[in-house]
Structure 1
């Protein structure tokens, strides 16, 4: 009788899946980012409705007794360095972090890469539809709230005056893809890695949430809607199953689980 020494799960281990073609994936991901930018531009306008909806969202948050956005911003405004750091995080981390996440998965976890790309594409597509039905001015534009447009006052800013900004739709605050993508980065890395410290990746969406609210670019509800959309996408696209491991006694090393041959030990 020949002993079976290979892991029983080797045939289904997603780490062994061949990664998709580089050119094809580059075009797909580049297309995703391009559609994101162009789609937001197509939903421009609707200024009156956007401000009307902004007042509705603001009042709804107060009725729900959600924390006041001004409380978060007040903490940022204690020092110029802190508020500029928050503005820089908002402007410079969103796209590079998501791209780095996809590149790492593509190189190290191909099956998880395909899953994450599908989830991000689904969330982004849904997020592009909502501004047509529910245009929303960000809280930094809403008079009477006491909020400051921190990017305009302290810099750096990624937006110009709304009337002359042809690169983005500033009336598409809901949902917050800043938060939705950040949360997916954290969930994806937690699903694709085995480190005991991997829950720390949740600090990225948490910091992103504080930044988008503190800089008055988004309401709390923008993040909640993005979370709901991500939840639906995650229900539709399940992550690949990783082969289980056992821990080597006294070493702390992950060791593949082996199949015990019939009759062993008799």
Structure 2
């Protein structure tokens, strides 16, 4: 079986990200509906004492040493860490890559459904009487963003500021955390796997970009995506010319893997050493070799020998 070609993966990921960005724009909704949804979330949180974003936002606003770094984290890591983890999986955990990528993309599409069904005004755009300050607008002189979310100055019209529910900042960070915790082989990677989603959750609330319930919904979208991933893999494998393509495992094993069975699962599963359906290595055709891509048979943790 062949490993997925890196240039095909780049095209696929770019297409999904373009759909994600375009979908956010198409799901704008009207401002009055978005504000009503935001206030409804805030009322629920106030009722149960869950409005943690208020004290965090006050702290970040009053303390530039916290607010400015938080703004940089919000404006950048979401777009840097997730691709980096995908590349890491592709190179170091190839048997896990396909299911992990399917999980991320399925959950992202579920997030787009949430943007369409429930356009939501983030806390920073509510009337000041509700107690929130837009830290990114307040500290915009320190970064490349203006007063419209994390978009570069002058490009605020290309983003949908009412796509707050669910928070895919939190959702993607949770996916990264699971990947680093599950497949990281060092204490540092596993620590980052725990710290990154927690940091992201604090940042999105402290900068008043999301409510706590947005963060919860982002985690729920990832959970739903995980449950749907085996069915997505089965569907993809049934497409003409796609049966088993690039997965390194038979169709049935690839579809069951994400649920924790075996093969190229996202979480759980036997190692290639114990699984009869996982290939011991991969090859690429002539002219497609990148550093470390062609390898000898993989070690027991599915890391290519040349990438260890």
Moved over 4 A (4+): 159-162
Q: Does the 8 Å contact 2:107/2:226 carry over to 1?
A: no
Taking the aligned partners of 2:188 and 2:80, their CA distance within structure 1 comes to: 22
Partner of 1:120: 104
Taking the aligned partners of 1:128 and 1:151, their CA distance within structure 2 comes to: 24
Larger radius of gyration: 1
Partner of 1:150: 135
1:60 to 21, 41, 44: 44
Taking the aligned partners of 1:105 and 1:50, their CA distance within structure 2 comes to: 37
Taking the aligned partners of 2:3 and 2:22, their CA distance within structure 1 comes to: 29
- Equivalent residues in 2 for 1:102-251 (5 A)? 102-143=86-127, 144-155=129-140, 156=143, 158=145, 160-161=147-148, 165-196=156-187, 198-200=189-191, 201-237=193-229, 238=258, 239=265, 241-243=269-271
Q: Does the 8 Å contact 2:148/2:161 carry over to 1?
A: no
Quote how far apart the aligned CAs of 1:79 are.
Answer: 2.5
Given the two structures, how large is their TM-score scaled by the length of structure 2?
0.69
Taking the aligned partners of 1:197 and 1:68, their CA distance within structure 2 comes to: 29
Between 234-243 and 123-132, the greater mean CA deviation after superposition? 234-243
| Count of matched residue positions in the alignment of Structure 1 and Structure 2 | 231
Quote how far apart the aligned CAs of 1:166 are.
Answer: 2.5
Where do 5+ consecutive residues of structure 1 fail to align? 1-16, 246-254, 258-266
Quote how far apart the aligned CAs of 1:172 are.
Answer: 1.0
Taking the aligned partners of 1:187 and 1:19, their CA distance within structure 2 comes to: 23
Taking the aligned partners of 2:119 and 2:60, their CA distance within structure 1 comes to: 27
Quote how far apart the aligned CAs of 1:199 are.
Answer: 3.8
Taking the aligned partners of 1:131 and 1:29, their CA distance within structure 2 comes to: 20
Q: Does the 8 Å contact 2:61/2:133 carry over to 1?
A: no
Taking the aligned partners of 1:145 and 1:136, their CA distance within structure 2 comes to: 15
CA offset digits 1:115-159 (Å, max 9, x no partner): 221011111101111122111000001122211000001123646
Where do 5+ consecutive residues of structure 2 fail to align? 150-154, 230-257, 259-264, 274-298, 302-308
Given the two structures, how large is their TM-score scaled by the length of structure 1?
0.80
Taking the aligned partners of 2:223 and 2:300, their CA distance within structure 1 comes to: 31
